[in-house]
Structure 1
């Protein structure tokens, strides 16, 4: 089980934290035929099978984890068929929420950000909150409204399957978004300074996230760390040290066996710790 730092528990209890959800969270869900949502590499492998022409160089890009370039080539090759594959992989299986989504919702954080295109958590949170949880995308002109107030928001950092044209999936799309939607990235910079980020089911390879954390780390070298939950042995100790030094990310590890069951159990334990801390804050009036 993950040993949750006391400072993180307090930040979550005070709703001064943002949960970032990655593909590892969606992996807990199942759909028709017990299918599970694909991660980035799995989606590219599926799409690659439908690509015309030579593909050896694309396979190498995927193997080397250069997913942005691989996706750009595949999308160009498939043209209008690319959106159909997105629907087949992320929408048609009708994925249902898992216990981990329920436990994340029970943390009652005002802001939850997700790098996922699927709407698994979005649909659950909106249903569970009776429509009072709002979904905002990086491309929304009024995205800044999430910064204040009491409304609960889900932030679609890379867009959603609902709007395939606005999904950030390729190298070109990452670059364009950074320049066309500067206010969103400025907002994320501000949140990195005022909130504690908790990355769940995410990798540290996302270029936008890395840029944001690197900038934050070197501009504010004495800021408290953010946190990322990762499978045990996912990174060499040297890489973990570099991650802490350059991204100010404290890595919390778990055993990934049985479809990351320990992660789900640990999130459930976190909800209990947070509820206890909130009761203590209320009793002692430590607002």
Structure 2
């Protein structure tokens, strides 16, 4: 599998964008430039929060207990387990507010101006003319959407999929009751029949995964458990070094089980900062070769005139 700086834009993605039927799943990797913590860092921060919070005249976690929890993070996929444990410890001690406080800090939940240069990649994604879905809880991407186009809860089979809408399927830090972060919350959400019907409607379309790490595909496996995948029209844009060609081949074997086509880009020169350049180039190609776009900039300008 060839790994180049700017991979070719698949014709299926281009055509879906032109029809307004491209679903773009946005993962945590899209928020790193905005100083959002990853899952492991959030878990470490919550452990520290429990260490520094007094219960009955002593910290909620002593040094030995905190060390045990940190050791769990050395094992892949355990960050959500640790987050769940810390949430339970804080909740049982009557400190639910401290969990949300750490969430806000880790997600860098400060006011970001819609014109902030760090939002450029989100604005470029917006120009791909898609139906936007994210598992991220931060509010940074919200800045380029009209508030009425952001949906954070009540996902059902009757939820209309609207071009240029943002569906935050794990909720928003702005609405704590909507958040999906603990294991119990995940189980509840992914066993909900109406939510599964919503996912099924998404996966009848062409889907592009952007900003996802392989660790997050555990979540996608949950999504896939209860839905039927009938066509090969799912794509994953991921960064690799050019010497990792064989690794790409191996990972494509994994993605084959989910009918996902891997689109690798080279991160030799710029690391994951190459991703914005790929998206920027794809937007240019769509703008120059399809009928998409004429109103995209007008829509963004409208958001800038009426920020959140």
TM range (shorter): 0.7 to 0.9
Where structure 2 has 5 or more consecutive residues not aligned to the other structure, the ranges are: 1-5, 51-60, 293-308
Judge conservation of contact 2:172–2:179 (CA < 8 Å) in 1: yes
Q: Which residue of 2 aligns with 1:229?
A: 237
Cα gap change, 1:142 to 1:214, in 2 (>3 Å): closer
2:274 corresponds to which residue?
A: 262
Q: Secondary structure at the match of 2:24?
A: strand
1:104 aligns with one of 113, 125, 144: 125
Instruction: Provide the rounded CA distance (Å) in 2 between the counterparts of 1:198 and 1:68.
Output: 24
Unmatched 5+ stretches in structure 1: 30-35, 281-287
Query: In the aligned structure 1, how far is the partner of 2:208 from the partner of 2:155?
Result: 26
1:243 equivalent among 226, 251, 254:
254
Alpha-carbon distance, 1:71 to partner: 0.9
Give 1:76's match in structure 2, choosing from 51, 67, 88: 88
Larger Rg belongs to: 2
- Quote the offset at 1:208 in angstroms: 4.0
Whole-Å separation in 2 of the counterparts to 1:67 and 1:136 = 26
How far the C-alpha of 1:151 sits from its partner, in A, is 5.6
Q: Is the 8 A contact 1:161 1:167 kept in 2?
A: yes
> 1:105–1:71: structure 2 CA closer, same or farther, 3 Å change rule?
same
Instruction: Give the TM-score taking structure 1 as reference length.
Output: 0.81
Aligned length: 261
> Does structure 1 residue 175 correspond to structure 2 residue 183?
no
Is this contact kept in 2: 1:135–1:154, CA < 8 A? yes
The one of 90, 94, 100 aligned to 2:107 = 90
RMSD over aligned Cα atoms: 2.6
Which residue does the alignment assign to 2:305? none
1:10 aligns with 2:31: no
Q: Deviations over 1:228-265 (max 9, x none)?
A: 11120589346413323211111112234546221101
- Runs of 4+ off more than 4 Å: none
8 Å contact from structure 1 (residues 114, 157) kept in 2: yes
Whether 1:49 and 2:69 are equivalent positions in the alignment is no
Secondary structure of the residue aligned to 2:102 is helix
**Whole-Å Cα distance in 2 between the matches of residues 63 and 279 of structure 1?**
49
Question: Quick check: 63-72 or 200-209, which moved more?
Answer: 200-209
Separation (CA, whole Å) in 2 of partners of 1:237 and 1:279? 33
1:114 touches 1:156 (CA, 8 Å); kept in 2?
Answer: yes
Q: Which whole-Å CA distance do the structure 2 matches of 1:117 and 1:72 have between them? A: 16
- More deviation in 248-257 or 10-19? 248-257
- Displacement of 1:87 after TM fit? 1.8
- Report if aligned partners of 1:159, 1:167 keep a CA contact under 8 Å in 2: yes
1:107-145 Cα shifts (integer Å, max 9, x gaps): 122x1001110011112222xxxx5x51112x3266733
Q: Is the 8 A contact 2:157 2:201 kept in 1?
A: no
SS state at 1:251 partner: strand
Shift of 1:190: 2.3
Shift of 1:37: 1.0
Pick closer, same or farther for the CA change 1:220–1:73 going to 2, 3 Å: closer
